[in-house]
């Protein structure tokens, strides 16, 4: 078994793509980030990405990547000993990574290996579930309509994006300004507008060949429990399916039963569970 670390983002994507597409739904995040880097190596300009593939007899058995300062992301693995290879290589390159994200089984094993290597304890910062949608269910529509955001709306979009992250994770990403600028540049971020008032926002991103991912979704407290987010996500999901995507995907926080219920009403079905771990100092 051999780990190969890549500097060339296109070479990494070309080698990892077939393996990741075997389970496209659970690898949508990895596929999207790898594709973005292949098309533009400076897409995440903060630091050089970590890109690694583990192979056994010339067959890919695991993929891992990291775009600092974010967590390491690990794929589903076909041989669990590949996680040891990844952990050992990451430890040599950067033993101070903040955490790891991935499927429940893979991350549970990885954090045990990491603790053995470093002595660092960990904690689950979020339990997530991937959902997929192939057909939007008919639901009662809230007042208002979907409105594409533009540069004039940047201030409110930035404010709400910051509030989303504070509420969801407790911290705001250091690159939040660049993230919002990407939303606007890609023209996939929308508001729900009721009587000329913006009341909720959603972004569609991380598109793969067959799927489009939805998130984040945020409604300010004063506009909640009016059906805005449900109507907004349902309408955007239908718009994406109409564009030719086979699936819409989204991640939910299992600690938020309200959002999980909303997405089930629309037609989203569970695919798999992910864990996000933080390594303690």
- pLDDT (0 to 100) of residue 248: 96
The mean per-residue pLDDT over the stretch 138-166 comes to 95
Q: Does domain 133-272 have CATH number 3.40.630.30?
A: yes
The mean per-residue pLDDT over the stretch 159-168 comes to 94
String of DSSP letters for 93-112? H-TT--EEEEEHHHHHHHHH
The mean per-residue pLDDT over the stretch 138-161 comes to 95
Domain locations along the chain: 2-120, 133-272
Query: Dihedral, CA atoms, 25, 234, 260, 253, nearest 10 degrees?
Result: 60
The mean per-residue pLDDT over the stretch 229-237 comes to 96
- Residue 106: pLDDT band (50, 70, 90) is very high
At 165-204, the pLDDT tens digits run 999 888 888 889 988 998 999 899 999 999 999 999 999 9
- pLDDT (0 to 100) of residue 175: 82
Strand runs labelled E in 134-180: 145-148
Measure Cα distances from 84 to 2, 114, 119, 279 in Å: 11, 9, 15, 17
The CATH fold assigned to 2-120 is Aminopeptidase (3.40.630)
- pLDDT (0 to 100) of residue 85: 98
Phi, psi of 129 (to 5 degrees): -135, 135
At 49-76, the pLDDT tens digits run 999 999 999 999 999 999 998 999 999 9
- pLDDT (0 to 100) of residue 33: 92
- pLDDT (0 to 100) of residue 168: 86
The mean per-residue pLDDT over the stretch 259-271 comes to 92
User: Identical fold at 2-120 and 133-272?
Assistant: yes
The mean per-residue pLDDT over the stretch 211-235 comes to 95
- pLDDT (0 to 100) of residue 178: 87
With a cut of 90, say whether residue 209 has pLDDT above it.
Answer: no
Structure tokens given for 152:
């004039």
- Residue 213: pLDDT band (50, 70, 90) is very high
Tracing tokens 């300010």 back to the chain, one arrives at 220
């Amino acid at each position: 078994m051999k780990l190969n670390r890549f500097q060339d983002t296109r070479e990494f994507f070309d080698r990892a793509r077939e393996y990741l597409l075997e389970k496209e739904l659970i690898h949508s995040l990895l596929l999207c980030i790898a594709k973005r880097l292949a098309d533009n190596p400076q897409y995440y300009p903060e630091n050089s990405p970590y890109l690694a593939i583990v192979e056994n007899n010339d067959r890919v058995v695991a993929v891992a990547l990291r775009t600092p300062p974010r967590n390491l992301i690990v794929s589903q693995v076909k041989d669990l000993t590949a996680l040891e290879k990844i952990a050992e290589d990451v430890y040599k390159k950067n033993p101070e990574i903040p955490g790891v994200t991935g499927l429940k089984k893979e991350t549970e094993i990885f954090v045990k290996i990491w603790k053995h290597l470093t002595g660092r304890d960990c904690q689950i910062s979020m339990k997530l579930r991937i959902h997929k949608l192939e057909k939007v269910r008919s639901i009662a529509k809230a007042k208002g309509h979907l409105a594409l955001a533009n540069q004039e709306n940047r201030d409110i979009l930035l404010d709400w994006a910051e509030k989303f992250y504070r509420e969801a994770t407790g911290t705001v990403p250091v690159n939040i300004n660049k993230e919002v600028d990407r939303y606007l540049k890609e023209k996939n971020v929308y508001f729900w507008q009721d009587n000329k008032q913006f009341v909720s926002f959603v972004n569609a991103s991380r598109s793969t060949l067959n799927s489009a991912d939805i998130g984040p979704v945020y409604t300010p407290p004063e506009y909640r429990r009016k059906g805005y987010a449900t109507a907004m996500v349902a309408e955007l999901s239908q718009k994406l399916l109409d564009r030719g995507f086979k699936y819409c995907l989204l991640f939910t926080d299992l600690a938020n039963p309200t959002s999980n219920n909303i997405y089930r009403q629309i037609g989203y079905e569970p695919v798999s569970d992910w864990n996000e771990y933080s390594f303690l100092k």
